[in-house]
């Protein structure tokens, strides 16, 4: 209700809905309605409209997920355990299907990377951020830079794909099976 809340509320609702329904599946009306913010304020806070909103949403997911990854990795000295911890936390979100939050950007990325270069770039940067977070940890445990980056790309792919399968199946098992196989992937 206070003064500076509207922008935050709109961005937060947009972030959630874009993740769940995609860019074209989410209308501005729905965002306004779910945010509870006043209708007139959308184009005041986001003068460039829907695209700007989506880019800022992706940037927010970028930072949010980066934080979750580093939190999990810092808890464990063994990188495999750290990644498994992240995956297990992620998989918990699929028990209560409405409270999903902090899901990576795969849907937006796939939808819009052929249509908006700005959005594609924002998604690309998010993937790079997360890849670097994983790769840094792997290098610390003895992998060379190239190998660390290669493995991190694969881990990113597994996570994005695992999320899609878990959503489609309404079942967190795909993400948990991925977690199980992580140690094998990091064997030297």
- Enumerate residues 24-53 that contact DNA by CB under 7 A: 26-30, 37-41, 43-45, 47, 49-51
4 near DNA, judged by CB under 7 A: yes
**x-or-dash string of contact with DNA, 51-80, rule CB under 7 A:** x-----------------------------
154 near its own copies, judged by CB under 8 A: yes
Q: How far is the CB of 12 from its own copies (least distance, A)?
A: 19
**Member of 5, 24, 33, 142 binding its own copies (CB under 8 A):** 24
185 near its own copies, judged by CB under 8 A: yes
93 near its own copies, judged by CB under 8 A: no
How far, in Å, CA of 127 to CA of 105, rounded?
Answer: 9
The three-state (H, E, C) secondary structure of the chain, written as one string: CCCCHHHHHHHHHHHHHHHHHCCCCCCHHHHHHHHCCCHHHHHHHCCCCHHHHHHHHHHHHHHHHHHHHHHHHHHCCCHHHHHHHHHHHHHHCCCCCCCCCCCCCHHHHHHHCCCCHHHHHHHHHHHHHHHHHHHHHHHHCCCCHHHHHHHHHHHHHHHHHHHHHHHHHCCCHHHHHHHHHHHHHHCC
- Residue 79 interface partner, choices DNA, its own copies, none, CB cut-off 5-8 Å depending on type: none
Is the CB of 42 or the CB of 158 nearer to DNA? 42
33 near its own copies, judged by CB under 8 A: no
Is the CB of 62 or the CB of 116 nearer to DNA? 116
**Member of 120, 132, 139, 141 binding its own copies (CB under 8 A):** 120
Q: How far is the CB of 50 from its own copies (least distance, A)?
A: 13
How far, in Å, CA of 93 to CA of 91, rounded?
Answer: 5
Burial class (CB in 10 A: 0-12, 13-18, 19+), 81: middle
Kindly list the residues in this chain that would bind DNA in the complex (CB under 7 A): 3-6, 26-30, 37-41, 43-45, 47, 49-51
């Amino acid at each position: 209700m206070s003064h500076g809340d509207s922008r935050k509320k709109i961005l937060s609702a947009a972030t959630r809905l874009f993740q769940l329904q995609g860019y074209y599946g989410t209308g501005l009306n729905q965002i306004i309605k779910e945010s509870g913010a006043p209708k007139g304020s959308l184009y005041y806070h986001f003068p460039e409209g829907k695209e700007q909103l989506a880019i800022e949403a992706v940037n927010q997911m970028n930072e949010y997920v980066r934080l979750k990854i580093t939190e999990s990795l810092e808890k464990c000295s063994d990188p495999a355990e750290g990644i498994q911890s992240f995956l297990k936390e992620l998989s918990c979100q699929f028990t209560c299907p409405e409270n999903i939050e902090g899901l990576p950007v795969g849907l937006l990325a796939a939808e819009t990377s052929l249509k908006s270069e700005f959005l594609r770039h924002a998604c690309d940067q998010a993937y790079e951020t997360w890849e670097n977070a994983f790769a840094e940890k792997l290098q610390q445990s003895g992998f060379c830079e190239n190998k660390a980056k290669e493995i991190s790309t694969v881990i990113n792919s597994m996570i994005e794909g695992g999320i899609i399968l878990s959503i489609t199946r309404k079942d967190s098992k795909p993400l948990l099976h991925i977690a199980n196989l992580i140690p094998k992937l990091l064997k030297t």
